[in-house]
Structure 1
Amino acid sequence: MSKIHINLTMLKALIAIVEEGGFSRGADRIGVSQSAVSHAIRGLEFAIGAPLIERQRGNMELTAMGQKVAEEARGVLQAIERLRKLGQNRNVCGTVRVGVVASIASRITPAALRDLRRNFPDIRLDIWDGTDQEVHEWARNDLIDIGIAGICDGLNAEHFMEEKLLLLVPEDHVLAGRETVLQADLQDARFVVPAMGCGPQIDRMLGDAGVAIDVVVRVREKETLFSMVRSHVGVAMVPELALPAIVDGCVVRPLDPPFSRKLFLMHGDASLNSSARAVADAFRRASCSFAFCLPDEAIQDDARIEEKTA
């Protein structure tokens, strides 16, 4: 019987070379030399009493025994990771107050909540949703622990994500038939602009681009803006995260060159406690997984246009 004991280095080496597809890349993944990985695999094979990897003409494949051992190794490493998190998470609990702009509240926050429920089930969130200006003010006055908005002046802040601003027009508008709308096409267009939130940013972006628009009305609520556009009061630029799956009576078009705005993750204190850090990390992961698609209505409208021109 083998006297070599199986250790974590052996298991990590096996999983690394399997998932990376080779000894060299596997060694890079776990931060050791290729010879160390080869030594670990030989030791594991000796401990198991059977070959685990077949090498043929520069390629490698797991043997039948290797596949079984790799499956068990994954389970062991995952169990150890869960044990490690138990120790890390023992003080990660309580309520964290998070201020977010409406678009983050509706699109990113649900994913962050799922992440927290899975990894930190003892954390509870108190979500404050408001305009950029409101979230910034809440963070400045320490009414919230973390804020995500487009304004971060005077606070501890980091770049969180960047979101495009898209053009919302009535479905029978002349610009609705275009796949992409040029910035120059917005010259002198009648616009509905948010009174708060990203409204000042839109004013600044258009001004910097040398595009003069006719601001017909400024509104505070998102639904009011949608209604105004639907009723042909004017067109609007809307952050991509703020768009629902379907905007009845309207279509969405990208702009060329695109306009985009930066969002920041901010807080008032110099350092966050462990619970607030866990929440911030969950929001970061959620933002990385975000993928935007034009609303179904816009896609359907494109299909109708193609049918008419066919």
Structure 2
Amino acid sequence: MTLTQLEIFSQVAQLRGFTRAALRLGISQSAVSHAIKALEQELGVSLFERHASGLALTPIGEQLLQRARAMLGLAATMGQEAADSRGMKQGTLRIGSFGPSASIRLLPAMLQAFRQQAPGIEVHIDEGPDRDVLQWLLERRIDVGFVVLPQTSFHTFPLLEDQMVALLPAGHALCAEPAVSLKALCEDPFILSQAGSAELVESLFQSAGVRPNIRYRSGQLLSTLETVARGDALSVVAELSLPEAGAGPARYQTRPLAPKVRRKIGLAVLDPAQASPATLAFITLAQSLCAER
């Protein structure tokens, strides 16, 4: 088997289709089909099966995909280490990012500084909820990911802290309070923003022994802000995820939770010993920039 076959296998599995993988890789669909067929013949197993809903991995395909991604990750690390030894900066850095906190407030400045430091590194960014970033790390789809700390399954690097706040419509009775309890947020309809730390918010209510009246679930923070601003629901969000002050009309207000809830954000990798030089350089840069905030 070759690394090219493993890369094609990985892309077909990720995109759930031969045609989409061919477009992503810039090769013909027949080349993708040939590579998968040759890999299956060499391994003596079927990697994919077709259903009415589309292409899916077989059980052994799921298992071998983890091995393939690990091998591709190590090969990429070797290539970048060799390039660095020649005084070059080449390769790819794959970053997982969640919510506006990372994607809007943190990542742009980091990418700008990293581009100046390593202009030859191609950066790929996958965005999704925090739970997706954790899964991408396990699957080795990304080299490094923004996470909410603590995370016991990964090696982590702390970046900064912010706090969780109650998000209220302007003029709501709770706006008169200096801080808001989780119990008080259970009396109105609630919108759960799944763009960032949804699991953290749910665990906060569970730990407090109360249950919010979840009427809405939103995959985008902008939808959450608009729903709250209209007075349709309350929410709990991370302070760092909100637009900067003055970015829009004060149609909603925030109040600290009582008691206060701090949120720690960091970067995570599976194994720093196997991380590429580009990955380690990005982590060092990110920590340095966050220390200056």
TM-score bracket, shorter-length normalisation: 0.5 to 0.7
| Cα offset, 1:146, TM superposition | 0.7
TM-score, normalisation: structure 2: 0.61
Q: Percent identity?
A: 24
**Correspondence 1:239 to 2:238:** yes
* Aligned counterparts of 1:113 and 1:196: Cα–Cα separation in 2: 21
The alignment of Structure 1 onto Structure 2 pairs a total of residues equal to 204
Residues 257-303 of structure 1: CA distance to partner in whole angstroms, max 9, x if unpaired? 2123333422234431211111111221232233xxxxxxxxxxxxx
Residues 14-58 of structure 1: CA distance to partner in whole angstroms, max 9, x if unpaired? xxxxxxxxxxxxxxxxxxxxxxxxxxxxxxxxxxxxxxxxxxxxx
Flag structure 2 segments of 5+ consecutive residues without an equivalent. 1-83
Aligned residue type for 1:193: L
Q: What residue in structure 1 maps to residue 66 of structure 2?
A: none
* Aligned counterparts of 1:200 and 1:194: Cα–Cα separation in 2: 10
Q: What residue in structure 1 maps to residue 22 of structure 2?
A: none
Of residues 274, 280, 283 in structure 2, which corresponds to 1:277?
A: 280
**Residues 167 and 255, structure 1, Cα contact 8 Å, conserved in 2:** yes
* Aligned counterparts of 1:135 and 1:93: Cα–Cα separation in 2: 24
Of residues 248, 260, 263 in structure 2, which corresponds to 1:261?
A: 263
Q: What residue in structure 1 maps to residue 20 of structure 2?
A: none
Q: CA RMSD in A?
A: 2.6
What is the DSSP-based 3-state SS (H/G/I as helix, E as strand, rest coil) of the residue aligned with 1:124? strand
Q: What residue in structure 1 maps to residue 14 of structure 2?
A: none
**Residues 98 and 145, structure 1, Cα contact 8 Å, conserved in 2:** yes
* Aligned counterparts of 2:175 and 2:269: Cα–Cα separation in 1: 41
**Residues 92 and 274, structure 1, Cα contact 8 Å, conserved in 2:** no
Which residues of 2 match residues 28-107 of structure 1 at below 5 A? Answer: 90-102=87-99, 103-107=101-105
Of 206-215 and 96-105, deviating more is 206-215
* Aligned counterparts of 1:106 and 1:221: Cα–Cα separation in 2: 13
What is the DSSP-based 3-state SS (H/G/I as helix, E as strand, rest coil) of the residue aligned with 1:256? coil
Residues 220-250 of structure 1: CA distance to partner in whole angstroms, max 9, x if unpaired? 2212211211121211111122111235421
Q: 1:178 to 1:145 in 2, by over 3 A?
A: same
| Cα offset, 1:204, TM superposition | 1.0
Q: 1:262 to 1:191 in 2, by over 3 A?
A: same
Which residues of 2 match residues 157-168 of structure 1 at below 5 A? Answer: 157-168=156-167
| Cα offset, 1:195, TM superposition | 4.1
TM-score, normalisation: structure 1: 0.58
Q: 1:113 to 1:89 in 2, by over 3 A?
A: farther
| Cα offset, 1:89, TM superposition | 9.4
**Correspondence 1:172 to 2:171:** yes
Of 251-260 and 221-230, deviating more is 251-260
Flag structure 1 segments of 5+ consecutive residues without an equivalent. 1-86, 291-310
Q: 1:90 to 1:229 in 2, by over 3 A?
A: same
